A and B are shown apart, each in its own frame.
Chain A
């Protein structure tokens, strides 16, 4: 039953061990495969089980708490090769480089000499999804602590071996030195030595002694990417590889009546046409042949369609009417008193795309050993494996998901769907690798979008200009329909025996999802009441887009703060400082304002300034943003002119990595806010390319974007990647308000909407 114990199965992890020379010892416990997978660990590592199973194990740092053995994270072989394992995936956010910096710092080695293994169900720890700006908090913390503990174990071992006081020894450049002779790590590591549970605390280096962490380090992946190196799953070419293309239905609820399967099967190069219920795909020798055959097959297909989408002309009402359950996000259980002035507004956002520049891609192969190997740019190899195992009716141990980079995803895009399509096609041609890449219109019209939302903000001031009441409501989907089950994979829904989409459930927790940042913990408020009107139904396919609900909850809140400051006759920066709950929040507010020269800013015709602030998720990075916009008063076109961002991400690993992601987050969020909305009619998605779903081009790029980082040596990692998504739309909206004197409640701020506002003809889309 348990092929995890099969020592003959060649795995990536076995290969790393250099023919079993030495290294760590996973295989002795039979846990070579999925050794970091809690499912596997239950059966595979009896020796590591605690002596008293009933006792609650101590809490370990970061992801060590779930994958507890040191050798799941760090390997050292006799030749002194250090290997670091992370369950996180490189998404273009620079996680590989940052993880290497954490490991190198504590292990006292050159980061470029470390071999790094990322998300792989046969080799890496199971760290779930690479999402939520949590890679450094969880994986970075785990790797750093594991590395520190391994270093101390090596020092202790050297002390015993050399018979000297451990206090005299230290680690340096891959060796333990200070004794009669240096000893390399490889010489000290013995069988089983690191196959031990990590300790709750580690002897971490003092930040003042850092050589690698906290310093800018060039991303390890960039030189290859700018010289034509094979960097992406799109670049994977396996021997005998075939090319697959899927024919998607024209709309979500379409069913296939008929298609010319036999005719297309005879086209040049076509190896197989796959039809299973309403699922259609074609496999060919060459990619262009596959594309031509896909087009012919699509033209031949007859579908029965159904109008199932909300009326796009009345989306806010539709969203509100779809809500079927209420959840209380926050309730101070106090009564507002002394309110003398009130601001109230209804805000809306449309569905937004991830909009990856490279459509999703995967390569799959059903091997002679019965293992389905899927090379995928999924954000979660383990949950994706579980979904594929269900889709294919194969044991989890027979599905091997290996992460390879794709085009940036910014959340749950088509990656998992492409993996499923590649696997379905590979199953139809056993032994042959099949590469599948979506066409542009397939990625655009079938990816799961960041959901449309409606929010209602109402807050009041007392006679002293302080906030006295706060009522907030949001209407939103779950922002999460990721795999774990087969129904999360698009193609699974169209098979003759379909897998239904998972039923989304209302869940209110500290991370938040649709309600992320809806609880205004950033501010001291005497009274607050926050309600989530939960939308379970998914008329438009939705899932996780960078920052989830925080994009719009922060937009609404910080638009409201801007109006409240105006009502109070206060400066927007000072008003926030007066209400800020945390000193670290105040620090980023002050720094962004200072760098922007908020106090010295002079009004100009057609220009406005705006400010916004939020601590992402209420427990991650602190971000404050000041922007200047330019509004063309004739056309209504808005351009972000400059932005000054201050960010506190806790302990800094790679300052340039933080800057890169923060600059990118501001520009991407500005693009969502100024230009983007998924269009559809009552049946079909009509945003099918970059003409029908325009995004920022160079003509809209700011003159300058500056990011200032507040260093917090010795503090926990707080993550970075999503912190700017919410403050950006708010700062832009506030700046437009400043420039034209009208508050915009509806994203995007396209020229026609802004021009209507300038002309006094703007009507917000939502109302009571």
Chain B
């Protein structure tokens, strides 16, 4: 059946079963790479995207719940040529090894910084608790999010 989803500011009509988790629609129907399959259980955060203003596990959220909601993925932030402050901070801090977990980290961090632009490192640690990284890039992820917070504060 056809479902209309608002993804990255655009209404998109997709033909998928209503119980399909958002993740598969983003990746396969809309060909968006950033959100990743990690566990399908809400335990690792690799699939994290923002719905309205909150980070959610797209691997657990069926599309039937998302009509009229604003879904955002890393692709909405910026591009290689014009990266957002958060993307630029991840590049500047070289905050990736394999990078598989990073888009999920970024969307959870983006939601935090939108909610609390003055987030401290302690706030960032608490906010990122649901997301796993196996390469041990945590120190750099924390630095990147703090750097982005500082950069966004300057602009504001």
Contacts and interface: CB of A to CB of B under 8 A. Distances in A.
A234 B37 contact: yes
Given A357-B44, A407-B98, A287 B28 contact: yes
Contact of A228 (B37, B75, B140): B75
B99 A225 contact: yes
Contacts of B74: 226-228
* Size band of the interface chain B makes with A: 35 or more
B106 interface: yes
A228 B34 contact: yes
Nearest to A435: B28
Contact of A667 (B77, B91, B138): B138
B96 A440 contact: no
Given A222-B94, A359-B37, A663-B140, A227 B134 contact: no
A705 B137 CA distance: 11
Contact of B80 (A227, A664, A697, A699): A227
Contacts of B19: 288
A91 interface: yes
Interface stretch (B50-58, B111-119, B125-133): B125-133
B128 A698 contact: yes
A405 interface: yes
Interface in B76-111: 77-80, 83, 87, 90-91, 94-103, 106
A288 B37 contact: no
Contacts, number: 180
Given A286-B24, A671-B136, A660 B94 contact: yes
B41 interface: yes
A668 B100 contact: no
Given A235-B33, A437-B37, A439-B40, A219 B134 contact: no
B142 to A, nearest CB: 7
Contacts of A661: 97
Interface string B65-76: 000000001110
Interface string B40-51: 110110100000
Contacts of A356: 100, 134
Given A228-B34, A690-B132, A218 B98 contact: no
Contacts of A228: 32-34, 73-75, 103
A245 to B, nearest CB: 12
B153 interface: no
Looking at chain B's contact residues, is the secondary structure mostly helix, strand, loop, or mixed? loop
Contact of B36 (A92, A222, A358, A439): A358
A336 B153 CA distance: 66
B61 to A, nearest CB: 13
A237 interface: yes
Nearest to A438: B37
A705 B17 CA distance: 47
A462 interface: no
Nearest to B138: A701
Interface residues of A, number: 62
Contacts of A666: 136
B1 to A, nearest CB: 12
A227 B37 contact: no
A259 interface: no
Given A667-B138, A668-B136, A689-B43, A226 B94 contact: no
A92 B83 contact: no
B37 to A, nearest CB: 6
B79 to A, nearest CB: 6
A243 to B, nearest CB: 8
B16 interface: yes
A690 B87 contact: no
Contacts of B97: 92-94, 408, 660-661, 664
Given A92-B97, A226-B99, A358-B38, A697 B28 contact: no
A695 interface: yes
B17 A691 contact: no
B4 to A, nearest CB: 18
Contacts of B87: 226-227
A512 to B, nearest CB: 24
A380 to B, nearest CB: 17
Interface in A360-407: 405-407
A731 to B, nearest CB: 15
Contacts of B77: 227
A221 interface: yes
A760 interface: no
A663 B99 contact: no
A690 B87 CA distance: 28
Contacts of A690: 39, 41, 43-44, 132
Given A218-B94, A437-B37, A231 B99 contact: yes
17 contacts: A221-B99, A225-B102, A226-B91, A226-B99, A227-B80, A227-B87, A228-B75, A228-B103, A287-B24, A288-B16, A288-B17, A357-B46, A358-B37, A358-B46, A407-B36, A697-B129, A705-B139
Closest 10 CB pairs of A and B: A92-B98, A667-B136, A408-B98, A664-B136, A225-B99, A228-B34, A407-B100, A228-B75, A690-B43, A440-B39
Given A228-B73, A286-B16, A690-B132, 9 more contacts: A94-B97, A226-B83, A357-B44, A358-B36, A358-B46, A358-B100, A406-B98, A664-B137, A699-B129
